[in-house]
Amino acid sequence: MPLGYNGKILHVNLSKRVHEVDEPGDAFYRMYGGGSALGMYHILNDMPAHVDAFSPENILTFSLSVLTGAPVSGQSRMMANAKSPLTDAIGDSQCGGYFPAEMKFAGYDAIIFRGRAPHPMYLYIRDGHVELRDARHLWGKTTHEVEEILKKELGDANIEIAQCGPAGEKLVRYAAIINMASRANGRTGLGAVMGSKNLKAVVVRGTKGAKSIQWADPKAIIELTKMGPKIINDNADMVSLAKYGTAGVVSYQNTIGSFPTYNYDSGDFHGWEKISGETLYDTVLKGAKEGRQNTVGRESCYSCSVRCKRVADSEWKGIKIDGKYGGPEYETLSTFGSYCGVDDLQAVSLASQMCNEYGVDTISAGATIAFAMDCYEHELLSNDDTGGIELRYGNADAMIQVLQDTLTRATPLGEMLAEGSARAAQKIGKGAEDLAVTTKKQELPAHMPQAKRSLGLIYAVNPFGADHQSSEHDGMYEEGNTSDLYMERLNQLGLYEPQPQRSLTNEKVRFALKTQQFYSGLDTFGLCQFVFGPAWTLYGPSHVVDLIKAATGWNYSLYEYMQAGERRLNMLRAFNAREGIDRKDDTLPKKMFKELKGGATDGVKLSHEEMERAKDVYFAMSGWDVKTGVPTRAKLEELGIGWVADNIGA
């Protein structure tokens, strides 16, 4: 059995209600690592092209890595993949919490789901033993209700549960997979894929814990573990992340004009201070009222010293905002806050809770409502369309009501918005498509390409739509805004020449590609991008390699790690090519090319010419066909996956 792995992959056929176990060897694990790459191996090999995302033929994968469950910060990540019902491209999403480590301890490195159960069921894995059980009594229950029912039913408070909420059951196209009622595989709608398969939940328990895994060099892992808490205070970014969570960047984002406001019409929000990380810390988080400064509103993922997860304890108009659903992070504060022109922090916190309760991606949910507000402001939606709701920017009551209707598909407007911005825009017509802020039909996160141009390039070319955690952000590699720590780590990736602010030079394109490949490696080896990274994080590139070597015993290098990240990217792009998705779909929304209003990016816009030129350079650097953006056979053979070229006809 390969060191660090269980050496077992579980295949579950929901239609036939049977399962089997595959035991790949060390060569397979070294080639594919884990995470998305491992999932893509099965999807590309076993799933036919052009199936509907809600078809039983869609394959859903849960994948871990060799590092999952190690006693070190930032390793408890589970990657989910399937064809996305939101984008019709590949779906890819990561979660944290305790579920990933517990799944590893339960005995499997991955679970591959095929088919559709005849009625709602859940998968129960305990110390390698596998059962499919009836879940009809769980259907329609919210995420925390399911947590309570199953812990009582199975008589074990230590089980971990990944589930689709009621929104996934109703096939809301951006439904998430939720664990701990607060952690999410949020993006690309994979909770709806679970719902389409009548797979309500996956329950895991490994009673031996980390003792069930054999590491090559446990002492080296422990040394890295001990290093983490010691160096947190040496890194200002980590100090802020630990105290304020991702919400701590609200001020910075607004200062540089990258805080999306009024559905991306501006990068400057007048009410930013009311929804900032500091205000959240002082008012909404658990323990804030008691002044418990060292423990305010913080929770951890398995074995993590950073503890960046927010925990709320407040109320909005008599409705309890409960810490069992976590608390709002930066993206949520933005999409339900500045995107919608809402500066009511409690209302935004309630929206975050509702998304976790019903199981949807907060980015797509908030951004879709902001799009609807934009349509209402432009008189493309009337009171007749909204059921009398005054769906204007800043109307927190309207935001909460429309969110509830969308999560439950309770009204015609809710039905339409449950399809996402791009499909809603097509239905509305009358120029609504110009107001939708999506790439590959996925809503943009809260980091603006006008201020971060290389990030805009990644938004366009990323296989699963716009994503803010698929590359490093521009500020790490711009003149006058670097640090010794940033540069020491970026130097390890061959990046030595910081570029002018808001530039998209060839060197900035190379920065985007190299850091994208690095981040792709993190999603192959299941590492948290807030803990391991190429610049500002707790650990840097050399630590990633040290950890892989300590876990596996392989003679591993940063070069091989970067190839692993590149391999995953090529597999994701290859899936899209097989579905007919290529360079013609690598576009940014029209709003990116209009001048912004107010703040540091007042009057700033992208140009089509610079983005097209940057794509030429990016595809050439990637070894892909420049005209189509499709991986070439030569590149796939170089990465050891020539079989993928046969799969896509390259």
Q: Which helix H or strand E contains 314, and what residues bound it?
A: strand 314-316
Give 438's strand partners: 443
Using alpha carbons, list the distances in angstroms from residue 52 to 83, 227, 571: 8, 47, 19
Task: Specify burial of residue 525 (Cβ count, 10 A radius: 0-12, 13-18, 19+).
Answer: buried
Cα dihedral 24, 29, 35, 37 sign: negative
Give 157's strand partners: none
Give 539's strand partners: 532
Measure the CA angle with vertex 175, ends 273 and 432; round to 5°.
Answer: 70
Q: What is the CB neighbour count within 10 angstroms for residue 549?
A: 16
Structure-derived torsion over alpha carbons of residues 448, 451, 455, 459, reported in degrees to the nearest 10 = 40
Using alpha carbons, list the distances in angstroms from residue 551 to 259, 410, 554, 555: 40, 49, 8, 11
**Considering the entire predicted model, what is its pTM?**
0.97
Residue 184 is predicted with a pLDDT of 98
d(CA 443, CA 589) in angstroms, rounded, equals 10
Residue 293 is predicted with a pLDDT of 53
d(CA 399, CA 386) in angstroms, rounded, equals 12
Nearest Cα to Cα of residue 279 among 297, 262, 294: 297
Q: Which helix H or strand E contains 94, and what residues bound it?
A: strand 90-95
Residue 149 is predicted with a pLDDT of 98
Residue type, 469: Q
Q: What is the CB neighbour count within 10 angstroms for residue 550?
A: 25
Residue 8, both tokens: 């077992």
Residue with tokens 């949520």: 332
Nearest Cα to Cα of residue 277 among 303, 246, 301: 246
Using one digit for the tens of pLDDT, what is the confidence trace for 514-547?
999 999 999 999 999 999 999 999 999 999 999 9
Using one digit for the tens of pLDDT, what is the confidence trace for 175-216?
999 999 999 999 999 999 999 999 999 999 999 998 999 999
Residue 422, both tokens: 């791009």
d(CA 353, CA 165) in angstroms, rounded, equals 13
DSSP line for 185-232: E-GGGHHHHHHHTTEEEEEEE-TTGGGGS--S-HHHHHHHHHHHHHHH
d(CA 453, CA 512) in angstroms, rounded, equals 10
Residue 233 is predicted with a pLDDT of 86
Strand bridging mode 298-299 / 177-179: unpaired
Low-confidence ranges of the chain (pLDDT < 70): 1, 289-295, 482
**HSE on the CB side for 315, CA within 13 Å?**
4
Residue 650 is predicted with a pLDDT of 77
d(CA 138, CA 403) in angstroms, rounded, equals 23
Residue 293, both tokens: 């400064």
d(CA 425, CA 384) in angstroms, rounded, equals 17
Residue type, 650: A
Task: Specify burial of residue 582 (Cβ count, 10 A radius: 0-12, 13-18, 19+).
Answer: middle
Q: At what angle do helices 541-552 and 506-524 cross, to 10 degrees?
A: 30
Using alpha carbons, list the distances in angstroms from residue 407 to 49, 113, 262: 30, 25, 22
Residue 77, both tokens: 């990540």
Nearest Cα to Cα of residue 127 among 211, 14, 183, 35: 211
d(CA 390, CA 7) in angstroms, rounded, equals 56
DSSP line for 577-643: HHTT-SGGG----GGGGS---SGGGTT----HHHHHHHHHHHHHHHTB-TTT-PBPHHHHHHTT-HH
